[in-house]
Amino acid sequence: MNNWQQVNLNLIAKAIGEMVFEETISVSENNSLFSFTNSNGVSYSFQGQKSLWNWIKVNPNSITRNGSSLVEASIFFIDTQEYTKMSDITLAQFIEEMRSTLYADLKLLQGPSVQEFIELNYLETQQSLNGHPKILMNKGRIGWNTSDWRKYAPENKELFTLKLIAIRTNLLKGVLPKQKHYESLTSSEHLESIQMQIDLSLFTLMPIHPWQWENVILYHFQKEIHEGNLIDLGETKNHFSPQVSLRTLNSVFPEAPFEIKLPLSILNTSCIRGIPAKTIELGPLISKSLTTLIAQDTFLQNKVDILNEEAGVTYIPEDLAQIPGAPYRFHEYLGAIWRESADSKINSHQQIILTANLLYQDSNGASAASAYIEKSGLSAKEWLVSYTQVVIIPLLHLQQQHGIGLVSHGQNIMLVMENYRPQKLVLKDFQGDFRLSDKAPQKTIELFNQSYHQITKLKPEHLIHDLYTAHFVTLLRYIGMNLSIENVISEKEFYTTISQEISSYENSHNIGISLLKQHFEKILVNSVRFKIGYGDSAERPLPLLGQQILNPLSPVNL
């Protein structure tokens, strides 16, 4: 089998599993062989492992179409159009996004072994990850051509400079950068040279992603450029490389204590990857309040840290700002966030990883989760107890005791490891992924007084999904299955172990909604794309609801 056939089968396997989970298709089972047949008589058969989540981990190399193992992903989505109910226009655009995803998948197919992967540094591991585990077209990057992909995609591990501009400060909103943030972009000699040209009491230095500069800023900011309110200063002296999220960049030549997050107006996964002006302004304020809250809570002290967002500025052109119902991308073109680097949170004996790293599987099907467990010297159950105490319980505590919801998917939640064992939780991304309960305690409201009225509020029964859906459905669902297939720990024991630790916490604290209740609402994400297509909208797309999940954490269901 060639690599092209393999990435097609891998994508079809993922699609079948997620479409079963989201109730888009139903399958028949006969002695571990699953199948479905569309109304035109086209039949798909495959082997797989059924999960406690009513999801199937499909063996890609077992998939056949009408008995043939030569199966194309585009034909699969055409065959299943009657189930997804995509219009012809949406389906064609979906296949366009699929082709970009497969193009990147070919590069990622021969990644490091898991033994090699767990020894890589924070940035290197991210550049080997496969992207969003749940969204089917997770590397669509619509707006890029192949040249852009080679230069800016994380899997290519390229270094590049950023565009450096000076913009008149009175145009900006947010928390202004200080000289130390400028020094994360350029050399002291270059900064001195800039200060001789530009009055930095009137202007602020900002980086811009080079793709964004060429494809967006030069078109939409001509007025500011010609009036001298936005000045091109050439390129940064520092070189950067992208994290898996595309927009967040690490300075690697030389290293810097800050990461830079920049708008990138391409469609990737669920939305255009700009950064909303509101959230750029909120990040530094939330960081400050959350740091205070953690310091005051003895349960969280020395267990939880954050990547502070120290500065964040944004500008919306005056004309576009007067069109509040414009597509959201028009309001997210220009901005920058400086946040602490992950490496600044560890010592020489520690590693820091995205929890998404635990999803990594090499070409032999071995998982990074199993490699970390083996290298730790702990049993699988002992390691999982440690993970639950370090990651899950503090997230639960923040929600239950403080009314704070962090969308805790694998890219937002970081884990400090020592001897490959979980040691500390580190949180990041306090823009749209930080919410508060509309019944948050008064102390939380007071701590977040500067930003409280601008932070999204959710009912407690909705906020719980920032933990349940984001961390369990979108991360642990896959990790538990991988470990079960590798015979490291059964899926049932995986959730029983976590459930017991949660039960111990809930029994000793006042809680609202239990993570152990028998049923939870199912949040659908791929079905949203099937339904809404690819047209512009004034707001980011919202998920849909499916049938209730029989909660694998509930003792009643185990």
Could you give the CA distance from residue 239 to residue 227 in angstroms, rounded to a whole number?
30
332 pLDDT higher than 80 = yes
**What amino acid occupies position 39?**
S
Domains annotated on the chain, with CATH = 3-141 (3.30.310.280), 154-293+307-342 (no CATH), 349-515 (1.10.510.40)
Alpha carbon distance, N-terminus to C-terminus of the chain: 40
Q: How confident is the model at residue 537 (pLDDT cuts 50, 70, 90)?
A: confident
Q: Determine the pLDDT at residue 558.
A: 78
Alpha helix locations (H) across 349-425? 368-376, 380-387, 393-402
CB 317 within 8 A of CB 221: yes
74: left (phi over 0), alpha (psi -120 to 50) or beta: alpha
The contacts of residue 23 (CB under 8 Å, 6+ apart) are 522, 524, 546, 547
Q: How confident is the model at residue 539 (pLDDT cuts 50, 70, 90)?
A: confident
Q: Determine the pLDDT at residue 32.
A: 81
Average pLDDT, stretch 53-62? 97
Q: How confident is the model at residue 31 (pLDDT cuts 50, 70, 90)?
A: confident
238 pLDDT higher than 80 = yes
Single pTM value for the model = 0.96
Determine if the peptide bond prior to 254 is cis (ω within 30°).
yes
How confident is the prediction for the chain on average, in pLDDT? 96
